[in-house]
Amino acid sequence: MNLVVVESPTKAKSITKYLGPGYKVLASFGHVRDLPAKDGSVLPDNDFSMSWEVSSESSKRLSDIIKALKESDTLFLATDPDREGEAISWHVLEVLQQKKAIGTKAVKRVAFNAVTKDSVLEAIANPRDIDMPLVDAYLARRALDYLFGFTLSPVLWRKLPGARSAGRVQSVTLRLVADREAEIERFVREEYWTIAAHLKTPRNDLFEARLVAIDDKKLGKLDIKNGEQAGEIRAMLEGASFKATAVEAKPIKRSPGPPFTTSTLQQAASGQLGFSSSRTMQIAQRLYEGMDLGGETAGLITYMRTDGVQMDPEAVQAARKTIGRVFGDKYVPEKPRYYSTKAKNAQEAHEAIRPTDFNRHPKDMRKFLDDDQARLYELIWKRAIASQMQSADIERTTVDIEARNGSRLAQLRATGSVVRFDGFLGAYVDHREEEDVDEDSARLPEIRAGEALAREKIEASQHSTEPPPRYSEATLIKKMTELGIGRPSTYAATITTLRDREYIAVEKRKLIPEAKGRLVIAFLESFFKRYVEYDFTADLEEKLDEISDGKLKWKDVLRDFWTDFFGSVDGIKELRVTNVLDALNEELGPLVFPPREDGSDPRICQVCGTGNLSLKLGKYGAFVGCSNYPECKFTRQLGGSEAANENGNSGDEPKLLGKDPYTGEDITARSGRFGPYIQRGDGKEAKRASLPKGWTLETIDHEKALALLSLPRDVGQHPETAKMISAGIGRYGPYIAHDGTYANLESAEDVFSIGLNRAVTVLAEKQAKGPGRSRGTPAALKQLGDHPDGGPITVRDGKYGPYVNWGKVNATLPKGKDPAVVTVEEALAMIAEKAGSKGGKKAPARKAAAKKEPTAKKTAKKPAAKKVAAKKAS
């Protein structure tokens, strides 16, 4: 008997079917041990020794492995083929050796890029030793993140009450988001105009041309600055005669991009499917680990944490055969295509993400997959196929036109393109390429050089420059990849951590830095600038890669980092809070002191007229206050407008909106500990309602307040059940409800405007996606997959908050845990702990892979003062 250890129960289930009765496959459920959440887990003064802790759940898993190992001849460590997977195998082996469970048994490390029978059997036939340079790179990363977080976070807590913690990669990622917000705040819009002529050929064909030069002066985008200038040019063109001076049709080739990497997959899934990065990786993990294909179990895609862009030569040949069969021989290029990555510090050891079998066409796989799985698999299949297809042949036509009015001369240009051969575009068009194609996709009519053109009309259009857009998850990951920040396995976890710490918020798929996040990054930039520099972080990533290549020793890298870092932290300990606030007042000027409409000094208190406004620190974080306190009690939330505080109102005091027409009670807008809200009446019996996202104290009025207080709203009776459909705003945002079924709405405004027909449609769409709430059972917020012992695992929202459900086992999510990002591994661990505590059937459990950077788990007991700091690092 041979024992095979993998990290995932789903992967174990798939591999068991490939290996047969001579093998037993067990899952470690991710990492079996981690650094304890306390001071001293990494000791720089003791040659960076690291203390590891095995959780109770992992102990159960290891006991099962030890028991099975006693009856086995060989141990195969078959975890994922990357740095994290290598570390899991090393951890398992270390624990088994410490427990003297190995003895004389053979230990072999096997790795495969795809969970298919051929790949697994080939890996078993060609084992290797554990790659210690890869493990060393993991140890260096883990120590770096621990030392950064547990050394710097206590400084944050002392100097910035309300701040959570700092992380090596998370802080730099937060800086990207905050810097973009600062760019937007500094941006000054500029007016500009464009001129377009609608012309007609002698054959009565219409087309449009744009002004590019006038009076021998080439026009830039912003050169026509106002309506007066645009009107003068328009008048000149309305009296001009037009003639085509040159017509050029130029053939161009557009080549396909490489197959997906982790970064490009997350970007494409966001742009084309609307998936978050964590959702994309969750679905991709399921496609990789193995699906039931009607009696056959196989992984549908290769390993999905990679920055490599090449495909295995055999896969390339398989793709070329599929292209010929599905699209035709003319779509197969003469030679295979080869790609090299442009990502900084990319590791080329892994393949790009591709289907394990190109013959599994997306339309044939759809019956085995749910809708999201099918859509993501189709995206991956099409991109991989397109990467080996012929280039597209496009004919781009440019027409230069002369407009003459007396002695004045203007030049206009019309462009268009025609796809002569679609090539790879027949399989896949990137969402960004679609935007580019749309700009020149207009097909021009026949236009001959030298012929006169008739003027139909001249249009002058006003525009203004736009600030750079906020990052989405996709564009942020793209930027991180370009800068060499983080690695494929960390992108989604990094963004999730920033959201969990309330450093960033997501609104309409855009990332917005919260005031707390901007405060933290401003502090770090003011006093620890080097450690949030992009180049410094990327350089550390490069050193980690050199460790994995055996070019650097991991403890040397740690020593170099720690010497300078500890000195920087030690030097800031005696810094006075007033010095910190002075620095932040300057760094966060646009946020702390937004411009006033009347042009007055934004740093002078508008209530007392003499006090200076500045940042203050309170129990719950930073706020803006007046220097004349306590005589002047003006306060304002950081980032809030002063509009609510005009006419002598303090930011703490209610703003009267009017009276309730039925009860006669005052309706007021207030700012509380948990954000802005409205209130009707006073005392314990007063009714309150929080302002939904996008609503502010400055814009709330009497009518909106009455509408909020009236929720939930009856929409109408459902035509099938005659039961009432209601609309309201709950913990997870706006929703409609009917007979125990809940469906989310896109915005708070929809709650007040949605009609009966639309509500019935939304409910039907929700029910089509999965089971709703019925007979008192809460609806599944999220389907996680099947339990290894059978039965679905779901995340649900109950009376006391969100929880994980498997059969009759319900495990409440930890406080602050976003139900949208719960993984199946985390769910299994919670289910096992809950089932074990009740003395019932014990389900398998797993300790989630520790891929988030510098975090530490909270302890159950109340620790001493030093341990409090360690606890907060999570």
Calculate the alpha carbon distances from 661 to 199, 635, 665, 666 in Å: 61, 31, 8, 10
Orientation of helix 132-159 relative to helix 534-548, angle to 10°:
150
Instruction: Considering the candidates 18, 146, 303, 471, report the single residue annotated as catalytic.
Output: 303
Active site annotation includes 620: no
Structure tokens at 494: 């990094």
In the chain, DSSP finds a helix count (H) and a strand count (E) of: 25, 34
Q: Which residue carries 């807008």 as its tokens?
A: 669
**Residues contacting 854, CB < 8 A, separation 6+:** 145, 146, 148, 149, 150, 153, 165, 166, 167, 168, 170, 873
Angstrom distance (rounded) from CA 164 to CA 187: 30
Vertex 505, ends 499 and 510: CA angle to 5°? 120
Question: Are 478 and 281 contacting, i.e. CB atoms less than 8 angstroms apart?
Answer: no
State the DSSP code for 179. Answer: H
Classified as helix, coil or strand, 495 is helix
Structure tokens at 172: 């730099």
Instruction: Give residue 712's identity as a one-letter amino acid code.
Output: P
Angstrom distance (rounded) from CA 246 to CA 731: 63
**What's the half-sphere exposure (Cβ side, CA atoms, 13 Å) at 330?**
6
Angstrom distance (rounded) from CA 258 to CA 307: 11
The DSSP H or E segment spanning 136 is: helix 132-159
Angstrom distance (rounded) from CA 497 to CA 423: 42
**What's the half-sphere exposure (Cβ side, CA atoms, 13 Å) at 813?**
25
Calculate the alpha carbon distances from 290 to 15, 16, 782 in Å: 9, 11, 20
Q: What is the DSSP string of 684-723?
A: TT-EEEEPPTT--TTT--HHHHHHHHT-SEEEEE-TTT-P
Question: Are 686 and 656 contacting, i.e. CB atoms less than 8 angstroms apart?
Answer: no
Nearest to residue 3, comparing CAs of 83, 118, 101? 101
Dihedral sign (CA 70, 71, 74, 79): negative
How many angstroms from the chain centroid is the CA of residue 50?
32
Question: Are 605 and 628 contacting, i.e. CB atoms less than 8 angstroms apart?
Answer: yes
Instruction: Give residue 395's identity as a one-letter amino acid code.
Output: E
How many Cβ atoms from other residues are within 10 Å of residue 274's Cβ?
A: 10
Nearest to residue 78, comparing CAs of 119, 110, 30, 123? 110
Biggest CA pair distance of the chain:
99
Strands 74-77 and 2-6, bridge-based pairing: parallel
Question: Are 49 and 43 contacting, i.e. CB atoms less than 8 angstroms apart?
Answer: yes
Angstrom distance (rounded) from CA 182 to CA 468: 10
Q: What is the DSSP string of 761-819?
A: HHHHHHHHHS---BTTBPPEEEEEEE-TTSSEEEEEEETTEEEEEETTEEEEPPTT--G
Nearest to residue 152, comparing CAs of 504, 586, 556, 532? 532
Classified as helix, coil or strand, 342 is coil
Nearest to residue 360, comparing CAs of 326, 391, 310? 326
Catalytic residue annotation = 303
